[in-house]
Structure 1
């Protein structure tokens, strides 16, 4: 059964998510990086790939909870879950220990999107930066299934440093914090919903 969300409900959820992400995450590091070749306004469907770090039941439970929250968020933004040739593949991983990772110094994603609706052959220069992430970093990566490369990644630290923890509230907040940085709706979704209202 296909879910339909009213435009006002969508905007309210995104606003609440943005505000709640600020609360309790002030001392935690979060951010995102994107590919200049991503066709962000064309993606419509998604599915998952992921790799649990351990095979114990608690870790697998955390991954299932993350999958549920990520799916809900993408569906609110108009994307449809699909088993057949999805446009995006979603990978997510929790690093329980401290992590040194590479990010990129880039223009804000929202601003870049407005100015670059279509990918061009001209490549902007990537400016890599090194980042230190504290225990319990959640990394979510969106991959263009057709091109077989990553087009966006979001991350936040201090999520869950203990793999045996059964608290899912942190996971929910972490997903909201990450996807508040990916405010891209499926092409035509907002127009469809505004005409239905």
Structure 2
């Protein structure tokens, strides 16, 4: 029997507290946020959080497409999909209306991670969270990675201008949105690049 994961709204709400600054590319706005307590060099496996099943057919189809693209991207970065005790749970959602978010200004994720990694024991930092306000226009895709064991969000990426109409279908836009988001999560599973090099 296939195992799926759900999470209560109360666990999703704190994600708004992990938002950092945005970049603007044309009319598209994108950015990413991270938790200073994330153990990014320990995560190896992932699964998805189940979304509500009462969405309309078009919306559900878009979510299935997103799930496929997100899974492919994480596997390219060395993570393994598993239904048994995954390290990371992946949540993704499209906000079709305008979105006002409270967030935090942070250093670029990969720069911060390189400076704060602690020899495989996670990340230790006393950096303060600097609150900012973020406005996202219609059609914002948000992808959140949650530490399954700790049940808290550790990274979140988002981009606007994806789909403003919930009845629209566009694999091209969805694929581009996933790439935009995960280009900000430049974290390969620990040892993956070395393993790939040795195999070649």
TM tier, shorter chain?
0.7 to 0.9
Distance 2:102 2:191 in 1: 34
The change in CA–CA distance for 1:187 and 1:35 in structure 2 (over 3 A counts) is same
User: Is 2:116 the counterpart of 1:116?
Assistant: yes
Q: In the alignment, is the contact (CA less than 8 A) between 1:87 and 1:144 conserved in 2?
A: yes
User: Is 2:30 the counterpart of 1:27?
Assistant: no
114, 135, 139: which one aligns with 2:138: 135
Alignment of 1:1-197 (within 5 A): 25-52=25-52, 55-118=55-118, 119=122, 122-197=125-200
Instruction: Note the alpha carbon deviations across 1:126-165, whole angstroms, 9 max, x for none.
Output: 1121100000000000000011100000000010000111
1:51 deviates by: 2.8
The change in CA–CA distance for 1:172 and 1:100 in structure 2 (over 3 A counts) is same
Which runs of 5 or more residues in structure 2 are unaligned? 1-22
Q: In the alignment, is the contact (CA less than 8 A) between 1:50 and 1:90 conserved in 2?
A: no
Q: In the alignment, is the contact (CA less than 8 A) between 2:41 and 2:189 conserved in 1?
A: yes
Q: In the alignment, is the contact (CA less than 8 A) between 2:162 and 2:174 conserved in 1?
A: yes
1:55 deviates by: 1.6
Distance 1:99 1:193 in 2: 40
Q: In the alignment, is the contact (CA less than 8 A) between 1:52 and 1:93 conserved in 2?
A: no
The change in CA–CA distance for 1:53 and 1:109 in structure 2 (over 3 A counts) is farther
TM-score, structure 2 normalization: 0.83
Which runs of 5 or more residues in structure 1 are unaligned? 1-21
The number of aligned residues is 174
Runs of 4+ in 1 over 6 A off after TM superposition: none
Distance 1:149 1:105 in 2: 19
TM-score, structure 1 normalization: 0.84
Q: In the alignment, is the contact (CA less than 8 A) between 2:138 and 2:161 conserved in 1?
A: yes
